[in-house]
Amino acid sequence: MSGRLVLAATPLGEVGDASARLVEALGSADVIAAEDTRRARSLAVALGVTPVGRVVSFYDAVETARAPALVDAIRTGQTVLLITDAGMPSVSDPGYRLVAACVEADLPVTCLPGPSAVTTALALSGLPCDRFCFEGFAPRKQGERRKWLQVLADEPRTAVLFEAPHRIDALLADAVDVLGGERRAAVCRELTKSYEEVKRGTLAELAEWAKDGVRGEITVVLAGAEPRTLDLDTLVGRVRALAAEGTRLKDAAAEVAAATGMSKKALYDAAVSRA
């Protein structure tokens, strides 16, 4: 009989957020694969749990190499509990490759839900939560970061992203330049911990707040872009410009229509009539 992989969310900071199912799993799993074994043991102590299984490290740099042995353990009937330092495994943390390997091997995978910085920050942000996207960590290099932000310039959904405290000032400064200082956002710091802080405002206000340095674990929530209203003359101008560069008029109209949501026929007919 095969075992199973159990993904378990761990507290972001407040130990009391640990679920009863996490406590039970820590005390019964055959193997605990932890992003940081020291933090895993500290969590167990804080929860009054004595693990009976072996504890192995499972962080980004070793995830690929160690996944096969864990898959083999599951195949032989063992329960492998996967935990990260905080929050849900696989969400910008180790876990995805092991889950994919278990799926490929047709082995059971289950999840113990719990704390997540993404949804916690989203709920606290005061920004629309009906539709959102998660963008992970912002790129470290400025050029790549600005290109990455440019993709969000027209994103209508609220976006959630992570950033290191020593780079949050640079991220917000670049966001002001690329997205505009009036875009609203929230910076959530040290979620669930005693120093929890949520700063809400425009990107310009938040960039000013962050320029002297910010400490702690950071989650940023960015308001979606307001819909742009482009008049027909402007869009026809785009169609004619593409046509002037050698694109067939119908193809140019289709391309602009796909990018703006305007009717392809309306654009084509208007471009022909104004030729």
pLDDT tens-digit series, residues 97-107 = 999 999 999 99
| pLDDT for the residue numbered 266 | 87
Number of folded domains in the chain?
3
pLDDT tens-digit series, residues 191-245 = 999 999 999 999 999 999 999 999 999 999 999 988 766 678 888 888 888 888 8
SS3 80: strand
The whole-chain average pLDDT of the chain stands at 94
Cβ atoms of 35 and 84 within 8 Å: the answer is: yes
Range list of H helices, 88-231? 96-104, 117-125, 142-151, 168-179, 203-210
Cβ atoms of 40 and 64 within 8 Å: the answer is: no
**CATH for 88:** 3.40.1010.10
Cβ atoms of 65 and 17 within 8 Å: the answer is: no
**CATH for 178:** 3.30.950.10
The confidence band for 275, taking pLDDT boundaries of 50, 70 and 90, is: low
pLDDT tops 60 at residue 1: no
Out of 54, 79, 112, a domain closes at 112
Query: 23 and 59 share a domain?
Result: yes
pTM for the whole thing? Answer: 0.80
The amino acid at 53: G
Q: Which domain holds residue 72?
A: 4-112
Quick one: DSSP state of residue 94? Answer: T
Query: 185 and 263 share a domain?
Result: no
pLDDT tens-digit series, residues 2-24 = 799 999 999 999 999 999 999 99
The amino acid at 47: L
Query: 32 and 66 share a domain?
Result: yes
Cβ atoms of 224 and 128 within 8 Å: the answer is: yes
User: What is the spatial distance between Cα 113 and Cα 244, in angstroms, rounded to a whole number?
Assistant: 56
Question: Does a structural domain hold residue 227?
Answer: no
SS3 189: strand
Length of the chain: 275
